[in-house]
Structure 1
Amino acid sequence: MRTSPTVRDVILAPGNGSFFYDDQAAIRAGVAHDGFRYLGTPLTPGFTTIRMPSRSLSIGLILSDDVIVWGDMMSVQYSGAGGRDPIFQIDEIQTLTGSVVIPRLLTADVSGFLAACEFVLAYHEGRRLPLAIEYGVSQALLRAAAHIARTTLAEVISSEYRLPLPEKTVPLYAQSGDSREINVDKMILKAVDVLPHGLINSREKFGASGGTFREFVKWVAKRTREIGEPGYHPVLHFDVYGWIGFEMGMEPQKIADFISRVADDVPGYRLHIECPADFGSTEAQLEEYAKIVTLLDRRGTEARVVVDEQCNTLDDIRRFAKAKAAHLVQIKMPDVGSIADSANAVLVCKENGVGAYLGGSCTETDLSARAAVNVAVATQADMILAKPGMGVDEAISIVGNEQSRLLSILNYRRSQNFLQTVSATSA
């Protein structure tokens, strides 16, 4: 009798994320630039400078058939902000992984993804493991289950959640970083579905009464018409990091008024505004975002609100989706934790008629990005972030090509199943 491979050993490999950790509180306070650096004193616990190179920790499961499957642990660019886990400390994560996670892995049945996640990622001393650990270990567990089943990661997700084999691509969303104009041109020339993020994370970029931001939005729309191929008409998505609330006031009516004016600046375009305000807690964010959504819906505008800060875990996402406290939820995968929870979060959003944006961070790795593609395609999320890094080209290549390869495999599977069915019927 043939048995499924088990985990024979575990190895760890320290590495780098694809961008930097940034102290959001210090940046909001108006610190100065020095080239690529920020000057000043960090405000968020764990930061030694305002901008720090991101790190990762790879975990490799050595299966009993000698195949090694990997996952990458890391945290997001704005760690410690908006209710998120603190900045990634590789030594602490490595110690906890060795003492708690590895012993569980060595006794786990890794043939079933969801059951393995539940066992290996169970609470320790009454608390969740750091979400970075959940994220990386769950990637490795998904790859182990896929290896054992001889399928793609997406097929494991589809099977475990009883979803049909996906056929459609998930729209790709690219982020510009600070090199806005050049990167917008790259996105348009590559016909990205959703763009450009914009990184509107300071008063300087938002402008007095939002004037600088509004001019940028109009320029992006104009640029899509100037250099885009005929018929190219992307969704315009901007992350303003709470600056509408900071600059215009924290009243939902004022925030909805401003968003409506921005939408009127670019008629005919679907407009996403991510994090229009940060109300400081999940409870306040839930209540006030629901009001903003209601106000915008009554106006019939093309503007949509996207929640990010203060909506991190699966439980948070479920509450926002049920309350209709956003038009779209960013499922920021390293903040959600296990990618099983990210898959579940997409399905929760869809069940409640709320858009599911499977996101993440520029600090991620190629390995985590490829796992995210499989989750997005299997669950048919409404859009997926092109990640990692801020270079645009690399992220579009990694995520876009993984999606293309995956759908080619799934189409091949369907054709083979069809041929087998026809052959059996003929016989």
Structure 2
Amino acid sequence: MQIKDVLLAPGNGAFFYDDQEAIRSGAIQDGFIYVGAPTTPGFKSIRIPASSLSVGLVLTDDTVVWGDMMNVQYSGAGGRDPLFDTDQISDLTWRVVAPRLFDVDASRYLNSCAKVFEPVEHQRLPLAVEYGVSQALLRAAAHLQHKTMAEIICSDFDLPLPTCRVPIYCQSGDAREINVDKMILKAVDVLPHGLINSRQKFGTDGQTFLEFVKWVATRTRQIGHPGYHPVLHFDVYGWIGQEIGLEPQSIADFICKVAGTAPDFTLNIESPADFGSTQAQIENYAQIVSILDNRGSNARIVVDERCNTLEDIRLFAEAKATHLVQIKTPDVGSIADTARAVLLCKENKVGAYVGGSCTETDLSAQVSVHVAVATQADMMLAKPGMGVDEAFSIVGNEQNRLLATLNGRGTQTENVE
């Protein structure tokens, strides 16, 4: 028995849980809150502080390794798990998960995950539970094998040890202009997200959004250092479809118009439309991708909503229904499935973006770094929170420490030889 006890500690996510449906329906912002009644089950108000639950595994040498459970900002939307309930998740963890943890060989990561995450009465465990517990199990395996978490992933998935960093993508939140400046000054690889989640931010016929894209491109040239050339990535939360209509040709035409405002940049457009179901999303996104490819556009489609689990990601990748998949880590569940998702995308020649949510924690962000670097994803999200500085520091520094560790071990091996 390598795990002799389990600890639970309630905590905070780094941002807020938001009722996406209420916001889409026109809820007005008043300062930092949204005014009006919530519409998504579980929400007592449209915006509520994000909660998390830490799970600690006490190993036989008395080391405690931790992982954090939480859901994403827009819980209960786009086919996602409902709003995070700390009491329910705590009860399930004590009743079902803890007894299973005492029976696994914690040094064998994939095997441990498979045993602990077996269905309960034919139902998959909540994805938040899989996410947090799989983080703790990865830390346990790394501790017991005296390796980094990235090395555990590489060993279990038969991957070469990484030598390259993964490009980092920052999100601005509502403080768009100030945070864009921060990103440019820090030479972030991919920016700015933009949080285009309402009609007010998108504008009639998308005019406000078009002006913002043009401003970001201009600002990058104005204050960026010589040679700085980031990817521009905008999350529009389905608003192209909401405002322009759900005809793939019209959506592609609009995206080409957006790309024309920043012709010198690669342009990522995330969640251009929500077609209501995974199958409809796949069929229509595939058409949009095909149109953009045939035109030789510098714009790329990124899927998020309706593409949550590993199975969803497989369907989108095999159908070529996106240029880039946001592998939204809390929605995927087990961190092992995030690794599988990156490899599945690569196998199908689709971009893999290890994403997540502003509602996450420092611990979940650090684990995501190890998985993204081990699998050599195309990009990863700076998380948690919406402040840019903190998330960029947590993710960027963890990458640099990891690569320095791996490089140092390679040097030691060379010296021995």
- In the superposition, the TM-score normalised over structure 2's length comes to 1.00
SS at structure 2 position matched to 1:318: helix
2:318 is matched with which residue? 322
For 1:323, give the aligned amino acid: A
For 2:61, give the aligned amino acid: D
User: Where do residues 1-80 of structure 1 align in structure 2 (5 Å cutoff)?
Assistant: 6-80=2-76
For 2:355, give the aligned amino acid: G
Q: How far apart are the structure 1 equivalents of 2:260 and 2:175?
A: 26
Is the counterpart of residue 214 in structure 1 residue 210 in structure 2? yes
1:276 is matched with which residue? 272
Runs of 4+ in 1 over 2 A off after TM superposition: none
2:287 is matched with which residue? 291
1:425 is matched with which residue? none
Give the deviation of 1:419 after TM superposition: 2.1
2:143 is matched with which residue? 147
For 1:138, give the aligned amino acid: S
Give the deviation of 1:81 after TM superposition: 0.3
Q: How far apart are the structure 1 equivalents of 2:242 and 2:376?
A: 35
5+ long unaligned stretches in structure 1: 423-427
2:197 is matched with which residue? 201
SS at structure 2 position matched to 1:69: strand
Q: How far apart are the structure 1 equivalents of 2:28 and 2:315?
A: 38
SS at structure 2 position matched to 1:317: helix
Give the deviation of 1:108 after TM superposition: 1.1
Give the deviation of 1:377 after TM superposition: 0.2
Is the counterpart of residue 237 in structure 1 residue 230 in structure 2? no
Give the deviation of 1:202 after TM superposition: 0.3
1:362 is matched with which residue? 358
- In the superposition, the TM-score normalised over structure 1's length comes to 0.97
Q: Deviations over 1:273-328 (max 9, x none)?
A: 00000001101001100000000000001000000000000000011001100000
Q: Deviations over 1:247-266 (max 9, x none)?
A: 00100000000000111111
Is the counterpart of residue 85 in structure 1 residue 48 in structure 2? no
Give the deviation of 1:413 after TM superposition: 1.1
SS at structure 1 position matched to 2:105: coil
Q: Deviations over 1:361-380 (max 9, x none)?
A: 00000000000000000000
Give the deviation of 1:416 after TM superposition: 1.4
Q: May I ask how many residue pairs the two structures share in their alignment?
A: 417
Give the deviation of 1:209 after TM superposition: 0.5
Is the counterpart of residue 175 in structure 1 residue 171 in structure 2? yes
Q: How far apart are the structure 2 equivalents of 1:417 and 1:248?
A: 58
Q: How far apart are the structure 1 equivalents of 2:220 and 2:348?
A: 32
1:344 paired residue among 329, 340, 349: 340
Give the deviation of 1:418 after TM superposition: 1.9
1:258 is matched with which residue? 254
1:307 is matched with which residue? 303
SS at structure 1 position matched to 2:52: strand
1:107 is matched with which residue? 103
1:267 is matched with which residue? 263
Q: Deviations over 1:87-131 (max 9, x none)?
A: 000000000000000000011111111000000111111010000
Q: Deviations over 1:320-346 (max 9, x none)?
A: 001100000000000000000000000
Q: How far apart are the structure 1 equivalents of 2:379 and 2:329?
A: 13
Give the deviation of 1:170 after TM superposition: 0.1
Q: Deviations over 1:155-214 (max 9, x none)?
A: 000000000000000000000000000000000000000000000000000001100000
SS at structure 2 position matched to 1:12: strand
Give the deviation of 1:399 after TM superposition: 0.2
5+ long unaligned stretches in structure 2: none
Q: How far apart are the structure 2 equivalents of 1:30 and 1:177?
A: 18
Is the counterpart of residue 398 in structure 1 residue 394 in structure 2? yes
Q: How far apart are the structure 2 equivalents of 1:401 and 1:20?
A: 24
Q: How far apart are the structure 1 equivalents of 2:409 and 2:288?
A: 45
Q: CA RMSD in A?
A: 0.6
Between the two proteins, what is the percent identity of the paired residues? Answer: 69
1:166 is matched with which residue? 162
Q: How far apart are the structure 1 equivalents of 2:179 and 2:385?
A: 13
Q: How far apart are the structure 2 equivalents of 1:359 and 1:152?
A: 21
Q: How far apart are the structure 2 equivalents of 1:156 and 1:6?
A: 17
Q: How far apart are the structure 2 equivalents of 1:104 and 1:395?
A: 33
For 2:243, give the aligned amino acid: E
Is the counterpart of residue 380 in structure 1 residue 380 in structure 2? no
For 1:315, give the aligned amino acid: E
Q: How far apart are the structure 2 equivalents of 1:34 and 1:217?
A: 25
